[in-house]
Structure formats: C-alpha cells, structure tokens
Amino acid sequence: MIAIYPGSFDPITLGHLDLIKRSSILFEKVIVAVLTNPNKKPLFSIEKRVSQIKQCTESLVNIEVDSFTGLTVEYAKQKNAGVLLRGLRVMSDFEQELQMAHINKTLENSIETVFLATNTELSFISSSVVKEIVRFNGVIDHLVPPNIAKDIYLAIKNQE
Ligand code: PNS
C-alpha cells in the first residue's frame, strides 16, 4: 500500500521525521507531499521544503518527496495511494484532523486517512513554534535536524 503524508512542512521538524521513519516500516512506499496551506504564509518556498525533506530522508529507501497543488485526494489518486497519513500530537489536533479526514472521505471514498500518534517526547513540536523561537533569538537545535536549524536561523535573519 502506498501512503501519502501531506503537509506544509514549513519546515520539517523532528516530529515529522519521526513519523516518516515509523511510517516507512508500515507502508510499501510513503510519499511526503508538500503543499501550501492557504491559511499560512510560508517561510520557505515549496522547492526549498522539498529539498530539505529529501536531505533529511535520504537514508530511507521507500520514502519519496514531492509537491503538489489542489486537492490531496486527487493527488493521492494520481499516485495510486490508498492512505493519507497524518500525525496526531495532542487532543486539540484531533478536531481539525477528524474534520479533514471526513471531508476527504466524502471527496474520495476509496482513500482512508490513517493517524499515527506522534512520539510523546516530540509531541510539543510544531513548525510554527520553531519559527517563533528563532524570531525571539532562541535555540531550536533540539527540535529540528541540524541542516534545517541552519536554514531557519538564516531565513529569519534575512527577514529582519
Ligand atoms: O501541515 P498542515 O498545514 O497541517 O497540512 C494541512 C494540509 C495541507 C494537509 C491540508 O490543508 C490539505 O490537505 N490541503 C489541500 C487541499 C485539500 O485537499 N482540502 C480538502 C481537505 S481539508
């Protein structure tokens, strides 16, 4: 079974990476699919995010990284994927994720959403929090892979 792991990944965090590694054991192939959430203004371009995720996942043979526009279920159909994968960190994620899963099911009944619980030790991490810490001159080396930390420090410095 092929799974799509869709998200903004602006940028990828250790929480995302943990989920990718665990999902690579469960599925034949996992496609990490980057798209812009219209409700969020991104720090990194889609191309940069794809290249960041590729760097972080190069040791995993059954992980592909791609980008797309439009509906996630349409992209999943194109890729012959049967599963949309999403991580659940805390209860407050659940409401929005459940709504998204229901909507996607009404759009394409043959595609199932599978939730994986985020690793407890990483469940507090979000891309937004990581960017906020750097904006206030904090350290994020324990929250994202080293190459991503460098990118964020640089991108936020260049915004100032
Ligand atoms: O990482 P995010 O921002 O929580 O990811 C949300 C995302 C991008 C997966 C979601 O907004 C999405 O699937 N957008 C594509 C448009 C779509 O398919 N909408 C219908 C389902 S709500």
Known catalytic membership, residue 77: no
Domain 2-159 has CATH 1.10.540.10: no
Could you tell me the pLDDT band of residue 91, with boundaries at 50, 70 and 90? confident
Please check the confidence at residue 110 and state whether its pLDDT lies above 90.
yes
Could you tell me the pLDDT band of residue 111, with boundaries at 50, 70 and 90? very high
Residue 67 Cα to ligand 1 midpoint, Å, equals: 12
Q: Which of 130, 145, 72 is nearest to 104 (CA)?
A: 72
- pLDDT cut 70: percent of the chain above it: 100
Residue 81 Cα to ligand 1 midpoint, Å, equals: 16
Query: 8, 86, 127, 131: which is the annotated catalytic residue?
Result: 127
Could you tell me the pLDDT band of residue 92, with boundaries at 50, 70 and 90? confident
For residue 34, the model assigns a pLDDT of: 98
For residue 139, the model assigns a pLDDT of: 96
Query: Mean pLDDT throughout 126-139?
Result: 96
For residue 39, the model assigns a pLDDT of: 78
Amino acid at 121: E
Q: Identify whether the C-beta of residue 35 lies closer than 8 Å to the C-beta of residue 21.
A: no
How do 2-7 and 83-88 pair as beta strands?
parallel
Please check the confidence at residue 160 and state whether its pLDDT lies above 80.
no
Known catalytic membership, residue 49: no
Q: What is the mean pLDDT of the chain?
A: 95
- Which residue's CA is the closest to the ligand 1 atom numbered 19? 71
Known catalytic membership, residue 86: no
Q: Rounded to the nearest 5°, which phi and psi values hold at 28?
A: -60, -45
- Which residue's CA is the closest to the ligand 1 atom numbered 5? 7
Q: What is the pLDDT of residues 10-69, one digit of tens each?
A: 999 999 999 999 999 999 999 999 997 777 789 999 999 999 999 999 999 999 999 999
Q: Which SS3 state, helix, strand or coil, does residue 33 take?
A: strand
**Residue ranges around ligand 1 (CB below 6 Å):** 6-8, 35, 37, 71-72, 100, 103-104
Domain ranges of the chain: 2-159
Return the beta strands (E) in 71-157 as ranges. Answer: 83-88, 112-117
Please check the confidence at residue 90 and state whether its pLDDT lies above 90.
no
